[in-house]
A and B are shown apart, each in its own frame.
Chain A
Amino acid sequence: MKELNPFILHSSLDIVEDIQWKTSQLYLKTIDNFYGYYISGFLTSGNIKFLLIHETKNEESIRQFFNDLNDLYVKVLLNPFYKVNDAITSPVFDLKVKGFAKKYL
């Protein structure tokens, strides 16, 4: 199953692009599901997409997870050596995201 995850997430990008002009919210809630897996989405104001695939529905904690992730992403973005759409390779970022996942999900 795990090896399919990237494909499931990428296929839901189309749905994100459809929703993004219908709502002005950042948090898009659950936008798609795939055989018992849910996909939640979040759009930053600069239209950077965060997607999360999960098995249990828990909107509030996912919202908090995304909000903290957005905060972290802005910190990456404010780094003058980072350009929009570059890959984020920082190990600290990776660790922090895993920390949020433990805390909220």
Chain B
Amino acid sequence: MSSQNIINPSTSKPTGLKAGYNPSLGPIQLPSSYQSQIASKSRNIYDHSVFRRTPEVNLSSLSFLFSAMIEQTQQTSKGVQQLEAKLNSYGYGVGNKFLELITLREGKSAKRETRIVEVLQFIHSQVWKTLFGRPADGLEKSQDSEDEYMIIDNLPLMSQFISVPKDFNQLNVNAFTAGIIEGILDSAYFQANVSAHTMAADGYPLRTVFLIKFDHGVLEREAIRFSR
């Protein structure tokens, strides 16, 4: 019985601490009566299933939410650059979490991506399919520099209903999607900077290029691990 208690810290009795796991103190034991009390509490996030057959939302409500988001961000930021940076940071958090969710939903075939090209193909097909219902229109490698890749979307879903005024001509609201890509790459340990640029083509005035610039270390690691 004493071996049971040995892991418990020798600090004075923790007061006001919540039950659960405290990283500096270890697991905090509860009287069993309290445990059943927690378990019988009404539904919590752990009881919901994350496996939904058709995880789709209404396009109009999504557009409305997104435009409200842009409006709010615009009011609180000075200039186009800051606005894009903020949208990017919103997307970043989504990307971090979305990567975990999408791999969990893959079930048995789930795997981690370990190479640059594979992780980009994963984003180009799986991620795009889950987010926008179709794969992206192109995945290209920059000819000028080793560390730059491009994902191309001819008709980006997020900016379909957004018309950017003339004096905001540098703005591309797909900075949000760029942030999602950045979040995914970063949490998969492919540190990169992602930015969105409008490059209109025939028939596709909204065509957007997501420019992905990997950190130097990522390329170095790839060269060491896979050159043999």
> A: which residues have CB within 8 A of B?
2-3, 5, 20-26, 43-48, 70-79, 83-84, 87-96
Contact = CB atoms under 8 A, between A and B. Distances in A.
A67 B17 CA distance: 30
Contact of B18 (A5, A78, A89): A89
Nearest to A44: B100
A5 B110 CA distance: 30
B112 A26 contact: yes
A24 B97 CA distance: 19
Contacts of B44: 92
Nearest to A48: B100
Interface in B26-77: 27, 30, 35, 38-39, 41, 44-46, 48, 50
Contacts of A95: 35, 38-39
B7 A2 contact: yes
A83 B97 CA distance: 9
Interface string B104-118: 100000111110000
A24 B112 CA distance: 5
Contacts of B23: 87
B10 to A, nearest CB: 11
Contact of A45 (B6, B18, B20, B110): B110
B20 A21 contact: no
Contacts of A26: 103, 110-112
B82 interface: no
Contacts of B114: 20-24
A20 B18 CA distance: 34
B189 interface: yes
Contacts of A91: 18-20, 30, 38
A84 B96 contact: yes
B21 A70 contact: no
A7 to B, nearest CB: 12
B125 to A, nearest CB: 15
14 contacts: A3-B6, A22-B114, A23-B114, A24-B113, A44-B103, A45-B100, A46-B188, A71-B50, A75-B50, A84-B96, A87-B23, A89-B18, A89-B22, A91-B20
A21 B113 CA distance: 9
A73 B22 CA distance: 16
Nearest to B122: A45
A2 B8 CA distance: 10
Given A26-B110, A45-B110, A94-B19, A3 B99 contact: no
Contacts of A87: 21-23
Contact of A75 (B6, B46, B102, B189): B46
Nearest to A82: B97
